[in-house]
Amino acid sequence: MFHSRRKFLQYSAYMGAGALAMPLAGMAFPSQQKKLGIALVGLGGYATNQLAPALMQTQHIELRGIVTGTPSKIPQWQEKYKIPEKNIYNYGNFDEIADNKDIDVVYIVLPNSMHAEYTIRGAKAGKHVICEKPMSVSVKEGEEMIAACKKAGKQLAIGYRLHYDPFHLEFIRHSREQVFGKVLAVEASDGFRAGDPNQWRLKKALSGGGPLMDVGIYAIQGTRYTIGEEPIAVTAQEFPKTMPEKFKDVEESLAWQLYFPGGAVSNSFSTYTTNVNRLFAGAEKGWFEINNAFGYSGQQMRTNKGPLQITPINQQAAHMDGVALSILQNKPANNVSGEEGLRDMKVIEGIYEAIASGKKVDLKI
Amino acid sequence: MFHSRRKFLQYSAYMGAGALAMPLAGMAFPSQQKKLGIALVGLGGYATNQLAPALMQTQHIELRGIVTGTPSKIPQWQEKYKIPEKNIYNYGNFDEIADNKDIDVVYIVLPNSMHAEYTIRGAKAGKHVICEKPMSVSVKEGEEMIAACKKAGKQLAIGYRLHYDPFHLEFIRHSREQVFGKVLAVEASDGFRAGDPNQWRLKKALSGGGPLMDVGIYAIQGTRYTIGEEPIAVTAQEFPKTMPEKFKDVEESLAWQLYFPGGAVSNSFSTYTTNVNRLFAGAEKGWFEINNAFGYSGQQMRTNKGPLQITPINQQAAHMDGVALSILQNKPANNVSGEEGLRDMKVIEGIYEAIASGKKVDLKI
């Protein structure tokens, strides 16, 4: 990935201390002896299939606790990850985690509408918090979460794993170093065909919204870190529902456009009807693109000059190691901070406002 | 391309008689002995670099005349293509082509705002007409062109070469045969960085509009023939101009969304600032995509299962041969007809109306 120390330093400057985790994982840090302990709060699919396995590969953080409302899940987690009885909590006694010195960090992997409550409770318990995206279901909640972590003197990081992914780092490099000149237009889309009509994603009380909240947020993030500015306005369109009963609570498909102060623009699409997953940047003298851009794996990057060979990594491990290092070094991971999550929430609220009003909405981010 | 006669017949049924040109080019037709004669009206870049060379490869039509307002261009065309003096016209004496039995077809390759006048004059001169896209700069003009050709008993075909391109035929097959189920969403974009600030494309009096008229129309066509229905509504957004002096006359970048009666939707982008060129279809069980979709060459098609090996052809030769056969057989090429061109003009006027009003515009196509 890094062809020279100069290039690496440029990355570091952009990415914040957190990015150190990946390229320097093998180097000696003063704090490397100590591993942080993490508890996963919520044992759904992402915790079970991605985060826990990734924590077998991390160097600066390890799985020591779980929080679940489903006691039947506990034995297999205990067996697989050797989690002691005293590090297992439910949502009733979660706050007692304050007294548990094994746990430095809690990772909130609950449905979106529960992110704020558990982030705030985690901070009050004196723990650093990693919270899955979207950080909350509103800007107001996001601000409360940031304030709570600040008050507790603890870091708040959002689960923006792609900030540690070598494909996205190379994509950002193409933009920052203007490999093909200035980026003028971004196309970013993320969607999939939502199966189970009973899943929490389709219940607004749990999800806060439809594909925009769930995966469209990656397209927003991708657009923002590609262009490297904050959008000043947004237009958005909701498409008519083809399955109104299934999507009675949340949007089925939508599109939006972001307007940036330097003149760059973006056009995006997100849906629960079909697979679409791409980050494209058109620049003055060429283009670059990641296909399957936002998935846990399977990224392919190419430019108008051809495909790039990039070795994939475990995104979740790199992300959690990055956040752990930023905690160990007491240097907030600005690339994935609560403030960064809040900016996406402001765009999301702008998109919903633009859909409701049918008008272009000014953004103050 | 065609794995069986059954599949071929399905194509033919969809594509109209014109599509016969490519797959059956080697077979004996009753009318195959006779080649039609064509005159190119306007000797700009497309006529010079694409159409004239393509006419060296056509089997049912050949270059016999030219119409130009630039006498200095004549000697090299005469030398290269052996065009007799009597088949060379200027815009003053163009109507005298009525008396020239060598010329069966005129191909209008002038700036957009001149398409209507020369199509109508060509029809009045008793010639079949191929007219470059966009067929006109307004729906009204398009209707007049169709009426004039109908009155003269002559065919009107638009320069929609991609209807004869094997990548796009395979793309359409993926939709029609529902290889991955029903198509639910299309993303189609076409744009390039317009260089010369003095080119006719940037003068509304000649072009009728900006990138939408010039290349965005391919994204509209592509969306319509992928989904196989007519859109019932459109929303659209014009982006602020980053080069207001250069683009004082026409839009610089824009996006639009089409709404189809069966529930499929599309999102598109077109620009004169950067290269973007893609046709993507998301279906129930997979996706398919052509990159460099709308260029004269360089198409690459792939699906979620991987890349497809398709042998490129000369698009312009296939298109002109297809139109020629439809004339020889007196079976209008519905896939590239004036009526088909008019449908795109209705979408284009809808897009401009949606931008001007800021509202969703109903389409009647």
Query: Mind listing the pLDDT tens digit for each residue in A194-208?
Result: 999 999 999 999 999
pLDDT band at B19 (very low <50, low <70, confident <90, very high): very low
In whole angstroms, give the CA distance from residue B166 to residue B226: 14
- Mean pLDDT, range A13-17, rounded to an integer: 39
Is B193 within 8 Å of chain A by CB?
Answer: yes
Q: Is the pLDDT of residue A28 over 90?
A: no
| Mean pLDDT computed over every residue of chain B | 92
Query: Mind listing the pLDDT tens digit for each residue in B198-244?
Result: 999 999 999 999 999 999 999 999 999 999 999 999 999 999 999 99
> B237 vs A239: CB contact, 8 Å cut-off?
no
Question: Are the C-beta atoms of residues B64 and B89 closer than 8 Å to each other?
Answer: no
Q: Is the pLDDT of residue B1 over 50?
A: no
CATH-assigned architecture of domain B162-313+337-362: 2-Layer Sandwich (3.30)
Q: CB-CB: which of B237, B263, B271 is closest to A235?
A: B237
Is A275 within 8 Å of chain B by CB?
Answer: yes
Q: CB-CB: which of A185, A189, A191 is closest to B274?
A: A185
pLDDT of A40: 98
Is B32 within 8 Å of chain A by CB?
Answer: no
Provide CB contacts within 8 A for A137, sequence distance 6+.
Answer: A112, A113, A115, A116, A207, A208, A209, A213
Q: Is the pLDDT of residue A186 over 50?
A: yes
Distance to chain B for A16, nearest Cα, Å: 30
In whole angstroms, give the CA distance from residue A342 to residue B128: 62
Is A253 within 8 Å of chain B by CB?
Answer: yes
CB atoms within 10 A of CB B76: 11
> B253 vs A265: CB contact, 8 Å cut-off?
yes
Percentage of chain B exceeding pLDDT 90? 90
CATH-assigned architecture of domain A16-161: 3-Layer(aba) Sandwich (3.40)
Return the exposure string of A193-215: e unless at least 16 CB atoms fall within 10 Å of the residue's CB, then b: bbeeeeeebbebebbbbbbbbbb
Q: Is the pLDDT of residue A26 over 90?
A: no
Q: Classify strands A265-271 and A183-191 as parallel, antiparallel or unpaired.
A: parallel
Q: CB-CB: which of B189, B235, B284 is closest to A193?
A: B284
Q: Is the pLDDT of residue A20 over 80?
A: no
| Mean pLDDT computed over every residue of chain A | 92
Between B247 and B1, where is the model more confident?
Answer: B247
Judged by average pLDDT, the poorest of A123-137, A296-310, B5-19 is B5-19
User: Does ipTM come in above 0.85?
Assistant: yes
Cβ contacts (< 8 Å) between B304 and chain A: which residues?
Answer: 275
Domain borders along chain B are: 16-161, 162-313+337-362
CATH-assigned architecture of domain A166-312+336-362: 2-Layer Sandwich (3.30)
pLDDT band at A34 (very low <50, low <70, confident <90, very high): confident
Is A255 within 8 Å of chain B by CB?
Answer: yes
Q: End-to-end CA distance of chain A: give it in Å, rounded.
A: 32
A71: Cα separation from own chain's centroid: 28
> B273 vs A185: CB contact, 8 Å cut-off?
yes
Is A295 within 8 Å of chain B by CB?
Answer: no
pLDDT of B33: 63
Question: Are the C-beta atoms of residues B282 and B275 closer than 8 Å to each other?
Answer: no
**Active-site hit among B107, B218, B225, B352:** B218
Q: Classify strands B276-283 and A265-271 as parallel, antiparallel or unpaired.
A: unpaired
pLDDT of A92: 96
Question: Are the C-beta atoms of residues A365 and A339 closer than 8 Å to each other?
Answer: no
Cβ contacts (< 8 Å) between A242 and chain B: which residues?
Answer: 184, 263
Distance to chain B for A358, nearest Cα, Å: 7
Is B251 within 8 Å of chain A by CB?
Answer: no
Q: How many CB pairs under 8 A join A and B?
A: 102
Query: Mind listing the pLDDT tens digit for each residue in A106-119?
Result: 999 999 999 999 99
Query: Mind listing the pLDDT tens digit for each residue in B155-211?
Result: 999 999 999 999 999 999 999 999 999 999 999 999 999 999 999 999 999 999 999
Of the candidates A111, A63, A113, the residue with the CA atom closest to the CA atom of residue A88:
A63
Query: Mind listing the pLDDT tens digit for each residue in B86-139?
Result: 999 999 999 999 999 999 999 999 999 999 999 999 999 999 999 999 999 999
